[in-house]
Amino acid sequence: MKPKIRPQWNLTPRRAARLQERLRERVVLEDHFAPVRTVAGADLAFDPQTGTAFAGVIVYRFPQMEELERCSAQRPLRFPYVPGLLSFRESPALLAAFARLRLEPDVLLIDGHGRAHPRLFGIACHIGVLLDKPSIGCAKSLLVGEHRELAEPAGSTCPLYFQGERVGIVLRTRESVKPIYVTTGHRVSLESAVRIVKKCVDGFRIPKPTREADHYVRELRQAYQRSRGAPLPSSASTISQRM
C-alpha cells in the first residue's frame, strides 16, 4: 500500500497545522467502500532513549477475526511532540509498515482519533487520506468534545460533540468498563464505523485489531531494547492465507 498523496513531514508545527486544515477538505465522511472482507489494526510504540518508533499492522479476515498477515517498520522520530500534531510524528513509521503488506485491507482501524480532533483531522483521517483507504479511529481516551453519561451495559453508545458537530461515538465494549471513542477517519460514515468496530470486539475493551497491534509493537520495542545496538529485521514474520 503506497500513499496516493505525497506525504509532507519536514514541516514546522505551524505549517503542519495548516496542512491539516488543507487535507481536511479531502476527508469523505460518507460510506465509500466495497463489502468488507478484511480489516487491519495499526499501532505504534516508542523507545524514548533512542527516539525510535515501531509501527505494526495486522490484517484480519472480517468478521471472523482470523489473522492473515502482519508487518512492521522501524523509523527514527523526526517531528517534535506537539499535541494535535501527533500524526506528523507517528505516520511515517505507520506508512512504512503499511507499504510492506502483501494484502490490501478493506478498512483500517487506527489506534487514535479521526474527526474528534482540534482541527477535525486526527491520525485516522491523515492515514486514510494519504492512502485513500476507508479508515476508522479507535481511541482509548478523549481528546476533544463532550458527551452525556453513558449507560453501563456493553454495546451502549452516545454521540460525541465538538464545536456543535457530532464527531464521534462513545462505545462501551464491556459492561461497567471505560468506553472507547470511535471516530470517522475517511470514506466511512460514523454509523458504519461503529458497526464495524462492534464486530471486531471479542470480549475485551479494545477491538481485536488495534489491541493485538498494540501487543505487537510492544514486543518489537522490547526486542529492540534487549538488543540495543543491533538492528531489527526490516519486517516481521508474515502469515498469508488464501482469501
Q: pTM (2 decimals)? A: 0.91
Q: How many CA atoms lie within 13 A of 223 on its CB side?
A: 14
Per-residue pLDDT of 197-240, as tens digits, reads: 999 999 999 999 999 999 999 999 999 999 886 444 444 443 33
Per-residue model confidence (pLDDT) at position 1: 86
Of 94, 107, 105, nearest in space to 182 by CA: 107
Domains of the chain: 13-226 (3.30.2170.10)
Distance CA 64, CA 102 (A): 20
3-class SS letters over 48-86: CCCCEEEEEEEEEECCCCEEEEEEEEEEECCCCCCCCCH
Of 133, 136, 143, 122, nearest in space to 183 by CA: 136
Q: Using an 8 Å Cβ cutoff, are 216 and 58 in contact?
A: yes
Per-residue model confidence (pLDDT) at position 229: 66
Distance CA 161, CA 93 (A): 30
SS3 call for 178: coil
Output the furthest CA–CA distance in the chain (Å, rounded).
50
Per-residue pLDDT of 92-145, as tens digits, reads: 999 999 999 999 999 999 999 999 999 999 999 999 999 999 999 999 999 999
Dig out the grid coordinates for 147 from the structure.
Answer: 458527551
- What is the Rg, in whole angstroms, of the alpha carbon atoms belonging to the chain? 17
H helix runs in the chain, sequence order: 13-23, 86-99, 123-131, 190-199, 208-226
Of 129, 178, 168, 128, nearest in space to 146 by CA: 168
Per-residue model confidence (pLDDT) at position 172: 97
Whether a cis peptide bond, with omega within 30° of 0, leads into 233 is no
DSSP structural state of residue 149:
P
pLDDT above 70 covers what percent of the chain? Answer: 94
Strand pairing class (107-110; 66-76): unpaired
